[in-house]
Structure 1
Amino acid sequence: MLTPEDLLFLTAVQSALLTLEAGKMSIVGCSVDRHVTISVPFSLSGKWMVPRLHKLTRIRPDLDLRVDATDHLVDFDRDPVHLAIRYCEHPPDNLHSVLLFADTVFPVCSPNLMAKFEGHLDPDQVVKPILLHDKMADYTWYDWIKSVGLNNQPTVGGHKFSHTGNALDAAIASQGIALGRLALVADDLAMGR
């Protein structure tokens, strides 16, 4: 783990290397392409990436970043995209991949809804309010119910959303309980939403 001082030093070193690279390119007569297009799923774009863009801007103020918020898979041979962020258990062998973070999934709801349960929800109480579903199929309410030993629960109903971010926004608005992915809910949890 890097300390805060290490992270500051890393940022300075990265900036210096980028400056050296730009200088080299100007000497050899090549232009530096300052435009980068990144494809990122809709929910991850709004809940994780956009709130952190200021960090990239601080490191690379000259960068012309283009964010393509879409859930469609990228074809690097045809699509005008330089980078893509996607959830996958097994990245394709023909692509270079970097793990950004591990996925942790757990039920989340607003403080207003939690107050109705006096600040504590047991697993069997979680399935009683309206459950908020998204289209992520890797871990669903059925999986969560099974993981906490509630195998005899009836069919899980509730509202269904095409994007995780919308399900989380509904949870923030006290519309029910959603399955939150840590990367997407960390800021909302920290802000008490």
Structure 2
Amino acid sequence: MSRSRLPPLSALRAFEAVARRASFKAAAEDLSVTPTAISHQIKLLEAYMGLRVLDRSPRAVALTPQGKALYEAVAAGFGEIERVAARLLADMAPRTVTLSSTTAFLSHWLVPRLDTMRRAIPMIDLRLHTSNITEDLRPGGIEAAIRYGRGPFPGVVTTFLCADVMMPVCSPRLGLSLLDDLQHANLIHIEGLNRPTPEPDWSQWCARAGLAGINTNAGPRFPDSLLAVQAAIAGQGVVIASRVLLADALAAGLLVAPFSEQLAGDAYHFVCAVGVEMRADIATIREWFQTALGSNGLT
């Protein structure tokens, strides 16, 4: 039978539903039509084919031998169409990727750039996972992360993004400009995880700057850089923090860097679970971070 002689699709749909459900009423419910409409389509199919496809009685509906052969072909054809359509729709749907990083990195750096990221890679549904500890990465779970350290990291595929420096910053309201101004300022300390080694504390910075006579142990202490930087923005003192995390606050004038002395930091890396590094969605996210963090001028 040529394609021009294929039975009408509506008649085949009605026939497939009746054969599958062995009921005109159930087939009508599946297709959201009336049993009368189903009966009409079956009569149309049988007239078109010139043979009976169903044996009907008051209590049952059964396939004729010819109807059984037709049903097997129709069911296989509809099944294949359904599988291909589902695959095509799945290919068009955004891929979901879960990325983990610290509260500080997500809050200070990534969240302000999420709209830009989504416009650049709209085909990926990025889910953020916040953790200040190192999470295990695995396909189908948390698959990628931004990690801070020297790298490379064991058990994952590591891609360098940018180097970092640690610098003292404060609110412009404090009016600091000279090193001696620190004699009368609160020194804010960060005691959380994800700090470079050796830790860039105030004793190291004062030694680098040649500044003596300051009690580098005094001042408020915070468990992570997110809280410490917020305290500095509020004018509560001076904090030494990551230049990457401070970039937006410095650009907005919420913070200033009154002193030129800096301490070496570690580096930011994109890491992913072993086995997913070549996947298109992971590669796209990795390339976006390489471009966005590279633009900080720290690479």
Q: Please tell me the TM-score bracket, short chain as reference.
A: 0.7 to 0.9
How far the C-alpha of 1:128 sits from its partner, in A, is 3.2
Equivalent AA in structure 1 for residue 124 of structure 2: L
Distance in 2, Cα, partners of 1:79 & 1:132? 40
Residue matched to 2:170: 109
Deviations 1:34-92 (A, max 9, x none): 11100011101100010111122002224221111111101124992111111111322
Residue matched to 2:201: 140
> Measured at CA, do residues 166 and 71 of structure 1 come closer, stay the same or move farther in structure 2, by a change above 3 Å?
same
Deviations 1:137-191 (A, max 9, x none): 5312222122212365434211111120111111111000011311111111111
Q: TM-score, normalised by structure 1?
A: 0.74
Match of 1:97 among 158, 161, 174: 158
- Equivalent residues of 2:151, 2:158 under 8 A apart: no
Structure 1 residues without counterparts, runs of 5 or longer:
1-25
Q: Is 1:191 aligned with 2:191?
A: no
Q: Is 1:126 aligned with 2:182?
A: yes
What is the identity percentage for the equivalent residue pairs of Structure 1 and Structure 2? 33
Equivalent AA in structure 1 for residue 129 of structure 2: D
Q: Is 1:69 aligned with 2:130?
A: yes
Equivalent AA in structure 2 for residue 132 of structure 1: I
> Measured at CA, do residues 61 and 111 of structure 1 come closer, stay the same or move farther in structure 2, by a change above 3 Å?
same
Residue matched to 2:118: 57
Distance in 1, Cα, partners of 2:243 & 2:209? 18
Distance in 2, Cα, partners of 1:176 & 1:83? 35
Distance in 2, Cα, partners of 1:99 & 1:109? 29
Residue matched to 1:177: 238
Distance in 2, Cα, partners of 1:175 & 1:97? 37
Query: Counting helix residues as a fraction of each chain, which structure ranks higher?
Result: 2
Query: Counting strand residues as a fraction of each chain, which structure ranks higher?
Result: 2
Residue matched to 2:97: 36
Equivalent AA in structure 2 for residue 63 of structure 1: I
How far the C-alpha of 1:95 sits from its partner, in A, is 2.1
| RMSD between aligned residues | 2.5
Deviations 1:1-34 (A, max 9, x none): xxxxxxxxxxxxxxxxxxxxxxxxx89x584571
- Equivalent residues of 2:169, 2:239 under 8 A apart: yes
Residue matched to 1:45: 106
Residue matched to 1:21: none
Residue matched to 2:220: 159
Larger deviation, residues 83-92 vs 147-156: 147-156
For this pair of structures, how many residues does the alignment match?
Answer: 162
Distance in 2, Cα, partners of 1:129 & 1:177? 7
Distance in 2, Cα, partners of 1:157 & 1:92? 35
Task: Indicate the structure whose relative CO is greater, using CA pairs within 8 Å and at least 6 residues apart.
Answer: 1
> Measured at CA, do residues 65 and 77 of structure 1 come closer, stay the same or move farther in structure 2, by a change above 3 Å?
closer
Residue matched to 1:20: none
Deviations 1:75-121 (A, max 9, x none): 1249921111111113224422122221111110101112xx4xx12
> Measured at CA, do residues 132 and 78 of structure 1 come closer, stay the same or move farther in structure 2, by a change above 3 Å?
farther
